[in-house]
Amino acid sequence: MLDEVRTPRLVIAGTASNVGKTILTAGLIAAFKVRGLTVQSFKVGPDYIDAAYLAHVSGRPCRNLDSWMLGEGALRQVLAQGVLGADLALVEGMLGLFDGRGGSTDGSTADVARIIKAPVVLVIDVGDMTESAAAVALGFKSYTESPKIAGVLLNNVRSDAHRRRAEDAIWGMAKLPVLGALRAMPQLDIPQRERGLLPVTENKEWDRMIGVLSETIDRDVDLDLLLRIANKAELVPLVPKKLFQGKPDAGRTVRLAVAYDDAFNFYYPENLELLEEHGAQIVPFSPLEDEHLPQDAAGVYLGGGFPEMFVEPLAKNHAMAESIQRASRSGVPIYAECGGLMYLGRSLRTDAGTTHRMAGVIPVDVEMDGQIHRFGYRQLLTLEDSILSPRGQFYRGHEFHWSRITGHNGGLKPAYQMQNAEGDVIGYEGFVAPNLLASYVHLHFGQNPLLVDKFVQHCREHTAIRTPS
């Protein structure tokens, strides 16, 4: 493992959401790859969907840099783990550059840029402005907590003349170079659905779009200058205590069944890597297509995703539901987050009003009703010993879900007392049993390796089950 990070890097930040950060970052990754560079992508914050788009383009797992969940030390370790073997790191920001937790810059893109000592390239949507773009650029450059803004990328320019006017104004007032300008290309917008961006696994046009975008960026963006700026990134020292040891645990390896298909694919790469380092052999399986859990699975990990979009095939796969029920009854440790929790319930009622049977491990019913029920960072106090943690521990996580639990017959204890990011208690969350932990909240295991230690330990203590072959 590295003692410091030297890899050239850039943060692609925006003045706000929806200014084109994801498309531009993806296009830059593709264009630099054409030039023969190995590019590692990162995403500021907890988002899985943007990260999946960037991973698809780069061919490497995209890693989330979330300073609120991880803290500075672990975040730098995630950076170091990601850049191994890479020539360039490109970091897509979230929201606007300075937008963080609770009206502060805590956890913002600017905060992450400071921690990883990376130059910032600011994306400005100039579709409806020219001279005003200079005021925007100057305001961001002059803001009290501004990181080093090295230049500007213009999006949605209408003509060459429009670009020249905006570029001259930005240089004249803010003394920031315009590093590139993209015309409005609505045909390259990532499709939206009611609940956000269409996931990359469902976007059949993405590869074609990236080919066009790569050519456009190679023509309209000064890639050589961007690379020179990236090479000016300062060295990032790492804390002596390493998050990643670079070698597997010497103890007995256990097979951990991890749900991975179109319905379940929300995992931070470090969660799986840390599990492997601590002795888990990751064995993917599909609740959509497989009939049973992998043979000799000593634990089950059901991540988030969109089970509601695949509710019919999930409901029809009775054999998988029964396999998971048998595993639960036999004491196999099962950890589930968000979509995984929904799947483990008795039933899932869709927006259309149809109810479908789910795995039936947890005595709850889940309903989609077209509303966001919870969204934001969470602080969690564990109320009971669980397969991930002893009681009395604090962890940080994130939740974003459109479903709610409508029926609960009891029998399971709440897993957490939950607080918002400001520390206000907002209720109880999740369910815990001797071999089960299920919650709407997504956890990044990098914040505390104890989570991994405990999970693998519980898997080791359980006698591996054998399922039909």
Active-site residues, by number, are 338
Distant-in-sequence, close-in-space partners of 126: CB < 8 Å, separation ≥ 6: 133, 154, 155, 156, 157, 162, 166
Q: Which residues pair with 428 in a beta bridge?
A: 417
CB 437 within 8 A of CB 415: yes
C-alpha span between 308 and 203 (Å, rounded): 17
C-alpha span between 81 and 403 (Å, rounded): 34
C-alpha span between 281 and 272 (Å, rounded): 9
Residue for token pair 């927006």: 351
Tell me which residue of 321, 408, 397, 336 sits closest to 367, measured CA to CA: 408
Tell me which residue of 125, 147, 466 sits closest to 326, measured CA to CA: 466
C-alpha span between 280 and 462 (Å, rounded): 13
C-alpha span between 11 and 448 (Å, rounded): 26
Whether the CA torsion 335, 338, 339, 345 is positive or negative: it is: positive
Helix (H, G, I), strand (E, B) or coil at 346: coil
The first and second tokens of residue 463, run together, are: 């006698």
Whether the CA torsion 127, 131, 135, 137 is positive or negative: it is: positive
Strand spans (E) along 218-324: 236-237, 254-259, 264-266, 280-285, 299-302, 304-305
